[in-house]
Amino acid sequence: MERVSMEVHADLQRERAAATISSEHFAEWWAGGRERLEERRALERYFFDDPEFNDPKHISFMSYKELYEHSVAKGTRFLAKLREWQRLRAPVDGTGGLTGGLDIKTLHDFRLLISGPLGTALFQQSFPLRLHFAMFLPTLLNQGDEEQKKQWLERAWHMDGIIGTYAQTELGHGTFIRGLETRADYDAEHEEFVLNTPSLTAYKWWPGNMGQTANMVVVLAQLYIKGKHYGLQPFLVRIRNEQTHEPEPGIDVGDIGAKLGANAVNNGFLGFRNVRIPRDQMLMKNAKVLPDGTFVKGPEPLLLYGTMVFVRVLIVHDVMVGLLQAATIATRYAAVRRQSPIEPNAPEPQILDHLTQQAKIFPQIARGVCYRLAADFLWQFYQRIMQQLEAGNRKGLPELHALSCCLKSVCTQESNEGIDALRKACGGQGYLASANFDNIYGLATAAYTYEGEYTVLLLQTARFLVRQYEDSLKRKVLPDSINYMRDTTRLRWTKNLLANAVRALEIVAASKVRVAWEQIRLERKRGQSAQQAANLAGIQLSTAAAAHARAFLARNSLRELKKLQRNLKPELGGVLQQLVEIFVYDTFLRQLGDILKWNHIAVVQVTQLEQRYEQLLRDFRPNAVALVDGFDFHDRVLGSTLGCYDGRIYERLMEEARKNPLNEEPVNSSFRMHLQPLMRGKL
Ligand SMILES: CC(C)(COP(=O)(O)OP(=O)(O)OC[C@H]1O[C@@H](n2cnc3c(N)ncnc32)[C@H](O)[C@@H]1OP(=O)(O)O)[C@@H](O)C(=O)NCCC(=O)NCCSC(=O)CCCC(=O)O
Ligand SMILES: Cc1cc2nc3c(=O)[nH]c(=O)nc-3n(C[C@H](O)[C@H](O)[C@H](O)COP(=O)(O)OP(=O)(O)OC[C@H]3O[C@@H](n4cnc5c(N)ncnc54)[C@H](O)[C@@H]3O)c2cc1C
């Protein structure tokens, strides 16, 4: 499904001609500047013009095994070609400097490349070496000491004999990682650790790329020295022979089977039987084990969880991309599809002219744009806190953990919901594999669970919020992202609807945190332990954290909008203003129950906001196609019969149907074997 030079559908031509914004200006801003936009386009052409990267058939027609083998072949060609690209040009942002040095920024850029438009275009069921880059390397980088980094990092970066993954989750435990059972016993005599899987539930289960692809893992295991327990530590273990790729002695490894999506990732299981590794393969930036078996505690035990924080920060960006791919497909489809006259004798309108259709699609576009603003903020914030940590200041870590957890949860959950709503907004055709919602949804919904399950992460944020609430009662200084809790004044409804709505969302969050805190106190008074009280307040706590995330997203969008409007062309600034308003009002209206519970707002004021919201949908309507064009998703990135730039939806639907292997022969063999005997009463 290339962007072919054929004629563009008349409706799309008209939409583009009538828009008041320039897609190209938007694209430039969205990409972070002209140079980056050009660079990204050149990189995409470099891959998309290469016939080696065309799939021989639609992946929905491949078996599980076929898809894996095809993806690995393509994945390795991808890396080779990317290296070639970088030899030809100086390394640039977005391609991850595969031939250059390695730092966390490079890994960030590489991650955005493989989870972003180019990566999802080439690997609709995810990149088959994903975990090597997304978790194995960041863990070596952040948890190895200087010696270990010298020994492993450069080699791992160039995949010189090393393909790694991050093996934490077990069959019995994913969330509660202190409950992991894999053991690493230190043998001081040989200066080795001995790894074992003591039970079925102790099997590592889920790590990506682990089934057949990886030959090394960072494994999280419980450290024991002379029988004494020292908690979880990371160990570097070779699981397959570097030359033959046969499992090493004592290693039981395999693939866990087909999933809802991301089937190229080859998630695996792994058991250890007396597997020995040298002492210097415990990653020791933090805690250390000396040759004689002395355990030296690290300055910051929570660094062990550092890779998870890094990945959570990036997930906000990942799911934003998926949501906007789906929104682009649905917008273009709705601009070409015509159905159901509005006036009895009028021609059928573009379905995008039904206001309810606008209400399905535009809030998702707006949401994606606001998530992007939050993702950029979060990445800057992460870098700042990491610099502070390196300098020995850990003050900002709890706020980073709290913010990344609730944003990861809420952005993932709402993107999942949004992608599904966009699929439904395409009617029946949205259900076809050739529309590509299945792959987009499959990737986005995995992120709801991995790297910390939705509710579990909200509860992490809630712990922080409740503690901060107590601090606010004691008039202590609060971190920036929750400073709004200090303001205990009631909402004063002014003419500025946007400011009203943002403040109302903050009041909801602050009130819900207070209620959660009160419930914990009540349960404590009833004699419950602190932990049981937290469990019994779990619904209040988790919904308070989600409310906090929404309040943050709204406030951040408003703040960023103000900054942007100083630098952008007025018509673009104006459309971004519409989108921020749509996002905030949509959030407000979806939370109306809570909003009314915690704010004194009259019915007429809600009506005023509803009317403004509906007006905004209509105001945004003329720019909808131009705006999604500005995300600059190549047709290969959307991979959809419904979303192509030229709008030839019906031609493509039919072309794809005809390519279906079932249509290769006029009569399928099942007729003679089964249907005919049935009809002749011979079964
Ligand atoms: C749920 C928790 C956070 C609970 O941990 P715990 O040890 O029981 O800790 P606790 O007693 O609740 O808390 C102790 C304290 O540590 C804090 N904390 C917890 N995690 C972090 C962090 N990352 N950074 C900074 N601080 C952190 C907590 O908030 C607690 O603080 P507090 O005592 O309240 O001040 C943890 O176990 C966890 O993170 N679970 C989720 C597991 C997870 O995310 N697994 C990811 C596996 S890899 C994966 O999925 C890869 C897919 C990637 C892909 O395909 O791209
Ligand atoms: C596609 C995919 C890729 C993955 N890749 C990797 C990988 O590369 N490496 C790796 O190590 N792992 C990986 N994982 C595992 C993943 O990190 C875990 O599945 C995830 O952290 C959730 O843990 P769980 O499966 O134990 O869920 P559970 O914790 O069993 O969740 C089940 C239910 O219990 C609830 N629950 C659990 N604890 C609590 C609590 N304290 N309070 C309230 N409710 C609770 C949850 O909210 C949820 O509703 C992957 C998973 C998936 C789906």
d(CA 661, CA 129): 29
pLDDT band at 301 (very low <50, low <70, confident <90, very high): confident
d(CA 416, CA 445): 6
516-521 contact pairs (CB < 8 A, 24+) = 516/462, 516/465, 516/466, 516/540, 516/541, 516/544, 517/466, 517/469, 517/470, 520/466
Ligand 1 centroid distance, CA of 185 (Å): 24
Contacts of 607 (CB under 8 A, 6+ apart): none
Contacts of 515 (CB under 8 A, 6+ apart): 540, 544
* Mean pLDDT, all residues of the chain: 95
**Quick one: pLDDT at residue 100?**
54
**Quick one: pLDDT at residue 109?**
92
Bridge partners (DSSP) of residue 96 are none
ipTM: 0.99
> Measured from the CB, is residue 173 less than 6 Å from ligand 1?
no
Whether 81 has a pLDDT exceeding 60, the answer reads: yes
pLDDT band at 299 (very low <50, low <70, confident <90, very high): confident
Neighbour tally for 103: CB within 10 Å = 10
pLDDT band at 584 (very low <50, low <70, confident <90, very high): very high
Percentage of residues in the chain having pLDDT higher than 70: 97
Q: Which fold has domain 140-302?
A: Butyryl-CoA Dehydrogenase, subunit A; domain 2 (2.40.110)
Whether 97 has a pLDDT exceeding 80, the answer reads: no
> Measured from the CB, is residue 302 less than 6 Å from ligand 1?
yes
Average pLDDT over residues 311-339: 98
**Quick one: pLDDT at residue 4?**
46
d(CA 432, CA 442): 14
**Quick one: pLDDT at residue 503?**
97
Average pLDDT over residues 72-95: 80
Whether 94 has a pLDDT exceeding 80, the answer reads: no
Q: In a 3-state reduction of DSSP, which class is residue 354?
A: coil
Whether 219 has a pLDDT exceeding 80, the answer reads: yes
d(CA 595, CA 102): 47
**Quick one: pLDDT at residue 6?**
64
Q: Whose CA is nearest to atom 48 of ligand 1?
A: 451
> Measured from the CB, is residue 456 less than 6 Å from ligand 1?
yes
Q: Domain residue spans in the chain? A: 140-302
Atom of ligand 1 nearest to the CA of 459: 1
> Measured from the CB, is residue 641 less than 6 Å from ligand 1?
no
pLDDT band at 174 (very low <50, low <70, confident <90, very high): very high
Neighbour tally for 231: CB within 10 Å = 12
- What DSSP string describes 598-667? HS---HHHHHHHHHHHHHHHHHHGGGHHHHHHHT---HHHH--SSS-TT--HHHHHHHHHHHSGGGSSSS
Bridge partners (DSSP) of residue 338 are 350
**Quick one: pLDDT at residue 427?**
98
451 noted as active-site residue: yes
**Rg for the chain, CA atoms, rounded:** 27
Structure confidence by residue, pLDDT tens digits, 28-52: 999 999 999 999 999 999 999 999 9
**Quick one: pLDDT at residue 101?**
64
Q: Whose CA is nearest to atom 47 of ligand 2?
A: 455
Whether 300 has a pLDDT exceeding 90, the answer reads: no
- What DSSP string describes 136-199? IHHHHHHHS-HHHHHHHHHHHHTTSS--EEEE--BSS-SS-GGG---EEEEETTTTEEEEE--S
208 labelled as ligand-binding? yes
d(CA 380, CA 374): 10
**Quick one: pLDDT at residue 506?**
97
**Quick one: pLDDT at residue 1?**
43
Structure confidence by residue, pLDDT tens digits, 395-406: 999 999 999 999
CA 38 to chain centre: 25
> Measured from the CB, is residue 448 less than 6 Å from ligand 1?
no
Contacts of 45 (CB under 8 A, 6+ apart): none
Q: Supply angle C-alpha 260, 265, 268, rounded to 5.
A: 95
DSSP state of 350: B
Ligand 1 centroid distance, CA of 575 (Å): 39
CA 35 to chain centre: 26
Structure confidence by residue, pLDDT tens digits, 634-680: 999 999 999 999 999 999 999 999 999 999 999 999 999 999 999 99
Whole-structure pTM value: 0.97
Neighbour tally for 166: CB within 10 Å = 27
Average pLDDT over residues 518-535: 98
**Quick one: pLDDT at residue 357?**
98
Stated as kind and residue range, the H or E segment containing 242 is none
| Residue 476, token pair as written in the block | 């202590």
| Residue 69, token pair as written in the block | 């083998």
**Quick one: pLDDT at residue 96?**
44
Whether 355 has a pLDDT exceeding 60, the answer reads: yes
**Quick one: pLDDT at residue 92?**
44
Q: Whose CA is nearest to atom 34 of ligand 1?
A: 463
**Quick one: pLDDT at residue 90?**
55
Ligand 2 centroid distance, CA of 99 (Å): 35
Ligand 1 centroid distance, CA of 20 (Å): 47
- What DSSP string describes 247-315? BPTTEEEEE----SS-TTS--EEEEESSEEEEGGGB--SSSEE-TTS-EE--S-GGGGGHHHHHHHHHH
Using an 8 Å Cβ cutoff, are 539 and 462 in contact?
no
Q: What are phi and psi of 624, to 5 degrees?
A: -60, -50
Average pLDDT over residues 548-572: 95
Structure confidence by residue, pLDDT tens digits, 366-402: 999 999 999 999 999 999 999 998 888 999 999 999 9
- The set of protein residues with a Cβ atom below 6 angstroms from ligand 2 is 131, 166-169, 173-175, 206-208, 262, 267, 446, 449-453, 455-456, 459, 538
Q: In a 3-state reduction of DSSP, which class is residue 569?
A: coil
Least confident of 120-134, 479-493, 609-623: 479-493
pLDDT band at 452 (very low <50, low <70, confident <90, very high): very high
**Which numbered ligand comes closest to the C-alpha of 206?**
2
- Residue among 15, 28, 170, 451 flagged as catalytic: 451
